Each structure stands twice: as structure tokens, then as C-alpha cells.
Amino acid sequence: MKYKIIVDSSSNLLSNYIKDDEIGFEVVPLTIRVGDNVFVDNDLLNIDKMLEVMEKSSSKSTSACPSPFEFENSIKEASNSIIITISSKLSGCYNSAVLASKSFENTDKNVLVLDSKATAGTMILLVDKAYELMKKDIPWDEFVQAMNEYRDSLELLFVLNKYDNLVKNGRMSKAVAFIAKALIIKPLCVANNGEIKIQEKVRTFKGVLKRLVFNIGVLVKNTEERICVICHTRNKDDANYLKEMINSHYKFKDVRIVENRGLCAFYAEDKGLIVSF
């Protein structure tokens, strides 16, 4: 096999996302532990059951990234591989993938480990770009440069109803949780160079969705060549509401709605919305 795209499961993708004899595709799962329950974030994971266990549990919940060995096995079958990971500032996935790639140094294999500096829909967009470039069969150094440039052009905004798991697991500051809970404010958050920052503070959930749509135009001036991906946790109504507003304000090539799977549902929790473009 000449090419392979490898992505961790925070991408919300299933293993059949790409079916191509020339380009392999694999989703390497993270795991989620809720008390004594361990959930593997693969195609078989029942999201509703995981969220139900989370809601009922008083025990600490954690997530764990794949081992370098798992990534190493994924690389073996292709001459040219890209591994796309969740932000290195939110998980150890990137470091694990880098360790795996070192096993192929001084071999005839090319391996690019790309820190998405985000998660969810951003990773979907990166997978789509990698596939598009691989089909063109461009030189590897051009591929690496194009993927890095495309990654740096992407933006991510999100709104959550609850920030408990992000705060408890050190992915977000306790100050944000205080703002959201004590002050009854809905923060609009942005991925800033791989870290979570507050873009705005809004009083109501519907209000923050409107500000999310407004801030798309603040972050990017031309949407005509972009695709927007809305990822949600059991919140189709607000996802559709967002899609309608986005389509009425901008001219994206496409606006897609995707359901959060294990890792993203764990951190975004019920009703959470993540928008990448």
C-alpha cells in the first residue's frame, strides 16, 4: 500500500469513512474510564450507554490515549503514512504517535505526525485534505508542507452545557468552570494554538450560538472555499439551528453535521457543540 491515513478517535470518524484500494484508513481508539467501567472509543461503542454511566457515576472519569505500539502497527503496511492527532496540549496522542514514528527513521517509509491543534471536525477536515492530496500523488515534501499550511488555516469554536470533565481532567482552567457555573454565563470557547481559550461570555445558550455564528466571520473573511463541520452530543436541534444560521450568513461549500463519538462526547458532554471551519 502506497498511502495510509491514520487518525485517533477524537475525530468522531468510523473505520469505514474512507474505502479506497490505494489509500488505507484507520481510526486508532482512545479509551474512557468511568469508575470501574472502561469504554473503548471504536465503532462498537454505545454513546448513550457511556453517557448514562457518566451521569450516574460519582467516581472520577478519565481518558487514555493509544500506546506507541498501536500507532506503530498502523504505520507498518504503507510506504507513506500520516497520523492526525487531537491537540498535543489536550492529550498524549501526539507524543505517542511521534514515538511510534521514530521506529521507522532510517527506513524507506515516510511518516508525518500532524498535531491538529484541535479535535472533532477539524480532524475530519484534515483527513479529507490528506485524502485529496494523496489522490494527486504529489511529492512527499509538498504533501507535508500543504498539510501543515492547511492545518494552520483552520478554526474551531465550541459551546458546552457542562465543563466538568474538561476541568477535572486538566484540559481547561477552573476559572472557566467558575464563570460558567457561579456566574451563570455560557462561554464561547476557541481553539487557540491547541489550547482552549474564552472568546466571549454570553448569558444564554441561544445567545451564545448566535455569537458563535458571528465569530466565524471574525476568524475567517472568506468562507466560499471552506467546509464547516458541526459536531454535537445528542443535540440535533441546536446543530440544525446552527446550520441554518451559518448558511444564512455565510457561503460555505458545505455545512456538515456529525455526532460526537466517545472521546468528544466524554469531554463535550450532553448538548455540547463543536464547530470547525
Residue 246 has pLDDT above 90, yes or no: yes
Q: What was the pLDDT predicted at 172?
A: 63
86: buried, middle or exposed (CB in 10 Å: 19+, 13-18, 0-12)? buried
pLDDT over threshold 60, residue 180: no
The pLDDT assigned to 170 comes to 64
| pLDDT, position 25 | 98
Q: Check pLDDT > 90 for residue 200.
A: yes
Specify the range with the lowest mean pLDDT, choosing from 57-61, 89-93, 200-204.
57-61
Question: What pLDDT sits at residue 174?
Answer: 64
**198 CB burial (10 A radius; 0-12, 13-18, 19+):** middle
Mean pLDDT, to the nearest integer, of 201-215?
95
Q: With a cut of 90, say whether residue 188 has pLDDT above it.
A: yes
For the cut 80, the answer to whether the pLDDT of residue 176 exceeds it is no
Long-range contacts of 94-101 (CB under 8 A, 24+ apart): 96/65, 96/66, 96/67, 96/68, 96/70, 96/71, 97/6, 97/8, 97/68, 97/71, 99/68, 99/71, 100/68, 100/69, 100/70, 100/71, 100/72, 100/74, 100/75, 101/71, 101/75
Cβ pair 157, 275 in contact under 8 A: yes
What does R_g of the chain's alpha carbons equal in angstroms? 18
Q: What is the pLDDT of residues 145-174, one digit of tens each?
A: 999 999 999 999 999 987 777 767 666 666
The pLDDT of 119-125, averaged and rounded, is 98
Length of the chain: 277
CB-side neighbour CA atoms (13 Å) of 98? 9
- Range(s) within the chain of domains with CATH label 3.40.50.10440: 3-30+65-153
**pLDDT class for 58, splitting at 50, 70, 90?**
confident
In the predicted structure, residue 183 carries a pLDDT above the cut 60: no
More confident residue, 100 or 181: 100
CATH code for residues 156-276: 3.30.1180.10
Where in the chain are all domains bearing CATH 3.30.1180.10? 156-276
> What number is the average pLDDT over the span 185-213?
92
Q: Are 274 and 22 in contact, with CB atoms under 8 Å apart?
A: no
pLDDT at 59: 84
Round to whole Å and give the CA distance between 46 and 42: 9
Residues 6+ apart with CB under 8 A from 163: 172, 176, 177, 180, 269
pLDDT confidence of residue 177? 59
Whole-number percent of the chain with pLDDT over 90:
85
Q: Is the pLDDT of residue 182 over 80?
A: no
pLDDT tens sequence across 66-108: 999 999 999 999 999 999 999 999 999 999 999 999 999 999 9
pLDDT confidence tier of residue 60, bands split at 50, 70 and 90? confident
User: Which CATH homologous superfamily contains domain 3-30+65-153?
Assistant: Dihydroxyacetone kinase; domain 1 (3.40.50.10440)
Work out the average pLDDT over 166-188: 67
Across the chain, the runs of DSSP E, i.e. the strands, are 3-8, 23-28, 31-34, 37-40, 61-64, 80-85, 110-115, 156-159, 186-192, 195-202, 227-232, 254-259, 273-276
- Cβ-based neighbour number of residue 16 at 10 Å: 9
Q: How far apart are CA 203 and CA 221, in angstroms?
A: 27
**Out of 71-80, 126-135, 189-198, least confident range:** 189-198
